[in-house]
């Protein structure tokens, strides 16, 4: 465990937040998980339990470790539940105004010496840090999905992030058993700067009728040896998150090559956000996924 960190706060109990809570609890930290939705909090606790049980079934962890980890996670309806955390990891929706409001409220309750990390996929760490009272103790800690499985975490310093924060964040991420890639604070950092334009291009390929959903995914799985096709992966990430990242790239780099595909916009407007809403480029409501185009 990182020396100066014992208690970890997580804001946002969606697919990423519950994964971050899961790995932090397994690594021995006490975790307070907060979300505006009590429903999401309940679902997250059930998901974490299910994912830990799967790790027991695969002999990755013991039954004792599952019970202990689960016992280390407390759900908090109110932001004030995070007040004495040593680090708070924000993992709420990929919307800058929502994140800014969260940081504003968090800073009114969080002890002054605590660090704040954001799991944003694309938004400027420097800009997010400026909405807090502690830009020097603010850092981007970008986990990959699914958190318990993926090895990498990107660390992104804002312009004001101090060395002590960077070193503590590094020790904390290492204690979770993850590898680190350090990225500069430019739109979407490293992984999503490369990955999301590829996914957006796959959606253009569908939009222009070059191939259907199955053909595009099979082409990239079998032809480029990607473990998942790009449209399957987009559904897995969440189409709202994919669109937000493309918008940040488009606005932040002012280059038309990052223009979000109109078909991606249409799916998001329909509320077809991928797996999390049971419909996206595939329909997940039956026994097996069925392409929607
Ligand atoms: N999906 C991915 O593959 C992925 C990978 C890495 C990082 N991220 C980033 O992680 C963050 C979360 O993404 P996700 O996929 O878990 O999204 P999600 O939609 O599954 O979850 C978002 C959660 O945020 C909660 N929330 C919304 N407003 C809130 C508020 N004001 N206070 C507290 N909670 C609030 C929602 O209730 C929801 O539970 C985003 O910044 C995203 O870019 C996502």
User: The domain 191-291 is classified under which CATH number: 1.10.1040.50, 3.40.50.360, 1.10.150.170, 1.10.3720.10?
Assistant: 1.10.1040.50
CA-closest candidate to residue 48, choices 64, 28, 27, 25: 25
Domain boundaries, the chain: 7-183, 191-291
Q: Is 232 a catalytic residue?
A: no
Do 56 and 62 touch, CB atoms closer than 8 A? Answer: yes
Q: Is 192 a catalytic residue?
A: yes
Could you tell me the two tokens for 180?
């680190």
Give me the residues of the chain with pLDDT under 70, please. none
Domain pair 7-183 / 191-291, same fold: no
Catalytic choice (91, 154, 200, 232): 154
Using a 10 angstrom Cβ sphere, with 0-12 exposed, 13-18 middle and 19 or more buried, the burial of residue 78 is: exposed
CATH 3.40.50.150 fits 7-183, yes or no: no
User: Angle at Cα 20 formed by Cα 239 and Cα 57, nearest 5°?
Assistant: 100
Using a 10 angstrom Cβ sphere, with 0-12 exposed, 13-18 middle and 19 or more buried, the burial of residue 276 is: middle
User: How confident is the model over 240-258, as pLDDT tens digits?
Assistant: 999 999 999 999 999 999 9
At 96 the pLDDT is 96
Q: Cβ(121) to ligand 1 under 6 A?
A: yes
At 11 the pLDDT is 98
Q: Is 90 a catalytic residue?
A: no
At 234 the pLDDT is 98
What is the pTM for the complete model shown? Answer: 0.95
Q: Cβ(192) to ligand 1 under 6 A?
A: no
Which residues are 138's β-sheet partners? Answer: 116
At 1 the pLDDT is 77
Q: How many helices (H) and strands (E) does the chain have?
A: 11, 10
Q: Cβ(152) to ligand 1 under 6 A?
A: no
Rounded alpha-carbon distances, angstroms, from residue 244 to 42, 95, 165: 26, 7, 27
Is the C-alpha dihedral spanning 54, 58, 60, 64 positive or negative? positive
DSSP-H helix ranges across the chain: 15-26, 38-57, 63-71, 96-109, 125-129, 163-175, 191-207, 213-223, 230-237, 239-253, 262-269
CA-closest candidate to residue 81, choices 101, 104, 111: 111
At 3 the pLDDT is 78
Q: Which of 37, 42, 93, 232 to mutate to test the pocket of ligand 1 (most atoms within 8 A of CB)?
A: 93
Nearest CA to ligand 1 atom 38: 14
* Cα 148 from Cα 143, distance rounded (Å): 10
């Amino acid at each position: 465990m990182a020396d100066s960190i014992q208690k970890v706060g997580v804001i946002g109990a969606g697919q990423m937040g519950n994964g971050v809570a899961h790995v932090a609890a397994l690594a021995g930290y006490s975790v307070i998980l907060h979300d505006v939705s009590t429903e999401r909090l309940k679902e997250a606790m059930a998901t974490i339990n299910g994912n830990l049980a799967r790790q027991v079934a695969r002999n990755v962890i013991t039954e004792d470790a599952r019970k202990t980890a689960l016992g280390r996670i407390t759900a908090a309806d109110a932001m004030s539940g995070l007040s004495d955390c040593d680090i708070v990891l924000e993992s709420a929706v990929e919307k800058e105004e929502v994140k800014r409001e969260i940081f504003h409220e968090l800073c009114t309750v969080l002890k002054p010496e605590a660090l704040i990390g954001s799991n944003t996929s694309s938004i400027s760490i420097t800009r997010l840090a400026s909405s807090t009272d502690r830009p020097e103790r603010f850092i981007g800690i970008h986990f990959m999905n699914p958190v318990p499985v993926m090895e990498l975490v990107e660390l992104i310093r804002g312009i004001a992030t101090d060395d002590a924060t960077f070193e503590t964040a590094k020790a904390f991420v290492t204690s979770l058993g993850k590898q680190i890639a350090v990225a500069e604070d430019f739109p979407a950092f490293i992984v999503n700067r490369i990955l999301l334009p590829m996914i957006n291009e796959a959606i253009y390929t569908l939009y222009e009728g070059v191939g259907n959903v199955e053909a595009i995914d099979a082409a990239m799985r079998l032809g480029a040896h990607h473990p998942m096709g790009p449209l399957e992966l987009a559904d897995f990430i969440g189409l709202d998150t994919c669109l937000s990242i493309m918008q940040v790239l488009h606005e932040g780099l002012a280059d038309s090559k990052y223009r979000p595909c109109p078909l991606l916009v249409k799916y998001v407007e329909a509320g077809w956000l991928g797996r999390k809403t049971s419909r996206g480029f595939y329909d997940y409501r039956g026994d097996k996924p069925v392409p929607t185009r």
